[in-house]
Copies of this chain bind each other. A is one copy, B any other.
Amino acid sequence: MYIYILFEIMFTQSEENYLKAIFHLQQEVEGGVSTSGLSEKLKTKAASVTEMLKRLAGKKLVDYQKYYGVQLTDKGMQHALLIVRKHRLWEYFLVECLNFNWDEVHEVAEQLEHIRSPKLVEELDLFLGRPQYDPHGDPIPDTNGKLPKSPNKRLSQLQKGERGICKGFNDTSSSFLQFLAKQEIGLGTNLEVLNIESFDESMTVLIDKKEIPLSKTATDNIYVED
């Protein structure tokens, strides 16, 4: 019985990476997640993705319709949320305890998220003081997979003259995070929209008395609370 449960819960690193990628892509577009989307996100070829999707479907982790993409089953969602939980808890640990910068944590968390030990996850959560958000402002699922509500207004959605507090980022690539650091934009940063160019939707934003120009691409990837 115990063995049975272990088998049910054991997935390979690769399978877990796919589950997480599907989870993230699922939030961006509705309907099935495409083979090419996964292929791009995971930097593997489409043929490899197709193969893995068939395997995941066999394990009842996804519903897979040939040519029409995949969606996580409840079981798949549950495990994806565990991986996300672990990823974000470790990121928090790296920044809070080990002097990592927020743009250095991703690669290591990508490995640590696969460490298998229920006790480890729960104790780490406790040790860190049950944080709600990771260093990028992303919500950390609790033991049951429940997400605290995420800050979900984008900076690009603010009107001229509105103010907001930076609560998170969508793109967490190293280059974007380094760009943000250079502009001195971080979690908790206060900002005010001074102007919006109508032709390219770029903004001029007031941060700490400095006027910072930001492209639509940038403002789309910054979450704010107003």
Q: Is A115 an interface residue (CB 8 A)?
A: yes
Whole-angstrom distance from the CB of A83 to the nearest CB of chain B? 15
**Interface membership of chain A positions 82-124, coded 1 if the CB is closer than 8 angstroms to chain B and 0 otherwise:** 0000000000001001111000100110011001110110011
Counting chain B CB atoms within 10 Å of each CB, which of A115, A116, A120, A123 scores highest? A120
Q: Cβ of A98: which chain B residues have Cβ within 8 Å of it?
A: 119-120, 123-124, 126-127
Contact across chains for B119 and A115 when beta carbons are under 8 A apart: no
Q: Which residues of A contact B (CB under 8 A)?
A: 94, 97-100, 104, 107-108, 111-112, 115-117, 119-120, 123-124, 126-127
Taking A100-B123, A111-B115, A115-B115 as known contacts, 19 extra A-B pairs with beta carbons closer than 8 A to each other, sorted by chain A number, are A94-B120, A97-B127, A98-B119, A98-B120, A98-B123, A98-B124, A98-B126, A98-B127, A99-B123, A99-B126, A100-B119, A104-B119, A107-B117, A108-B115, A108-B117, A108-B119, A108-B120, A111-B116, A111-B117
Alpha-carbon separation in the docked complex, A111 to B114 (Å): 9
Alpha-carbon separation in the docked complex, A104 to B118 (Å): 12
Whole-angstrom distance from the CB of A11 to the nearest CB of chain B? 14
Counting chain B CB atoms within 10 Å of each CB, which of A100, A111, A126 scores highest? A111
Whole-angstrom distance from the CB of A122 to the nearest CB of chain B? 9
Q: Cβ of A120: which chain B residues have Cβ within 8 Å of it?
A: 94, 98, 108
